[in-house]
């Protein structure tokens, strides 16, 4: 039996918008459809290059959508890179799919770990502007070949204070600071974070694309051990998403394309950037996430009760906990109640990260946002296989870059 969400907001983030009363299609006069998608496995892919990952995901997306390469009006590639892969000019890699893509406009976009969703929204805006009718969007990253210090330094390039500086804990240390702030206000979080990790690992078992497909159990995820050491107190290894390779792609169109899957509609989207210096941000507010969430749900004219699942950015388990509260699923300091009641589990009222999330699926940073959209679209089209939820008509996707600095939210719905 599906259980109710513990707390639903009566005002603020996630509530029904009173200003628009319209959907994206009503507001802009244009329908935005996801008509096909592709997804590689995530993980340590030693035999793959950035190019092969891009070509694989893009080819699958075009075939799935029924779109010929010559029908693509624009290509948008999301990749962070930041020195992890030697090729820093990757915008034309998708043209390797077919010579029929020659001279198609192609652009690389980057917004840290939200680069994938930045690519999606760039494609959406081209469709809304009328400069394209079919856009191929790709997110890709190649990371695992690089030494740990190179990966760490690249990722820290997304932090205002630590960019270019040595750090033994990297972004795990930054999110550990968030966890310590949370504990000061709301008490110990170790068991709660362990429950989030266990939930997402359990979900990841059902995802054929996931990097970590093993149910670790709550006891293991809650306990410090030789196999689950502290990375940055209080975060353990199971509280951190893994370094990954992978790619995902989707086709955006203003009309059905006759592909082999039912199209999925974009009902609303939002984007908000917070200040980069940490001193100008409340570490627990995730204010940019709240703003992006409100904008997306307002455009879609829907509230939390109208959602059937959420894919959110759990780069670290503390991020998932704080996002619960930032988007209004629970009051501040009460996010743990969602887990205790089972509300965010697969059989709960609002399943969160049924794909396994970044925690189990993996986090090839530029690919993550596109992957989230693909996995949500699969649920809404009834093509998610073993991951499929019994009822999935509307989903929200949340992707962020840095410590909640770049924030993107999409609302997708079945057609």
Which is nearest to 319 in space by CA: 408, 218, 235, 198?
Answer: 235
- Which backbone phi and psi does 358 adopt, to 5 degrees? -60, -30
- Which backbone phi and psi does 352 adopt, to 5 degrees? -120, 125
Residue 29's contacts (CB-CB under 8 Å, 6 or more residues apart) are none
Which is nearest to 365 in space by CA: 291, 296, 313, 309?
Answer: 313
Counting Cα atoms < 13 Å in the Cβ hemisphere of 83 gives: 13
Spell 292-325 as b/e; 16+ CB within 10 A means b: bbbbbbbbbbbbbebbbbbbbbbbbbbbbbbbbb
Catalytic residue at 113?
yes
Spell 115-138 as b/e; 16+ CB within 10 A means b: bbbbbbbbbbebbbeeebbbbbbb
Which of the following is catalytic: 39, 64, 113, 373? 113
Task: Give the CA distances from residue 5 to residues 133, 190, 211, in Å, rounded to whole numbers and listed in that order.
Answer: 39, 22, 29
- Which backbone phi and psi does 280 adopt, to 5 degrees? -100, 5
Which of the following is catalytic: 39, 313, 345, 363? 363
Catalytic residue at 186?
no
Task: Give the CA distances from residue 339 to residues 3, 294, 348, 362, 401, in Å, rounded to whole numbers and listed in that order.
Answer: 11, 23, 9, 22, 25
The residues assigned a catalytic role are: 113, 363
């Amino acid at each position: 039996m599906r259980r109710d969400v513990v707390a639903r907001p009566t005002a603020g983030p996630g509530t029904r918008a009173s200003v628009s009363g319209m959907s994206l299609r009503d507001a802009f006069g244009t329908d935005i459809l996801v008509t096909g998608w592709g997804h590689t496995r995530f993980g340590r892919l030693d035999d793959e290059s950035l190019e092969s990952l891009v070509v694989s995901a893009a080819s699958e997306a075009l075939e799935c959508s029924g779109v010929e390469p010559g029908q693509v009006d624009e290509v948008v590639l999301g990749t962070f890179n930041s020195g992890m892969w030697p090729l820093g000019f990757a915008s034309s890699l998708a043209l390797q799919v077919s010579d029929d893509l020659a001279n198609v406009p192609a652009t690389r976009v980057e917004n840290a770990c939200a680069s994938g969703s930045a690519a999606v929204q760039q494609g959406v805006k081209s469709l809304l502007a009328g400069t394209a009718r079919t856009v191929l969007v790709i997110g890709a990253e190649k990371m695992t070949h690089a030494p740990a210090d190179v990966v760490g330094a690249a990722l820290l390039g997304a932090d205002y204070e630590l960019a270019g500086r040595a750090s033994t804990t990297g972004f795990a240390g930054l999110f550990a600071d968030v966890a310590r702030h949370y504990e000061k206000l709301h008490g110990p979080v170790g068991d709660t974070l362990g429950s989030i990790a266990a939930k997402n690992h359990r979900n990841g078992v059902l995802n054929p694309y996931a990097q970590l497909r093993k149910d670790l159990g709550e006891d293991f995820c809650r306990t410090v051990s030789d196999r689950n050491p502290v990375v940055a107190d209080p975060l353990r290894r199971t509280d951190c998403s893994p370094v990954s390779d992978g790619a995902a792609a989707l086709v955006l169109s203003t009309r059905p394309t006759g592909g082999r899957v039912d199209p999925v509609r974009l009902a609303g989207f939002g984007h908000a950037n917070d200040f980069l210096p940490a001193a100008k941000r409340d570490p627990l507010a995730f204010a940019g996430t709240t703003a992006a969430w409100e904008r997306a749900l307002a455009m879609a004219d829907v509230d939390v009760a109208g959602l059937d699942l959420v894919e959110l950015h759990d780069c670290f388990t503390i991020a998932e906990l704080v996002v619960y509260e930032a988007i209004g699923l629970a009051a501040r300091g009460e996010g743990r109640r969602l887990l205790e009641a089972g509300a965010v589990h697969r059989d709960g009222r609002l399943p969160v990260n049924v794909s396994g999330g970044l925690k189990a699926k993996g986090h090839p940073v530029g690919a993550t946002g596109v992957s989230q959209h693909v996995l949500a679209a699969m649920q809404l089209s009834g093509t998610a296989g073993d991951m499929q939820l019994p009822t999935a008509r509307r989903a929200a996707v949340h992707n962020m870059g840095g410590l909640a600095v770049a924030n993107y939210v999409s609302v997708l719905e079945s057609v």
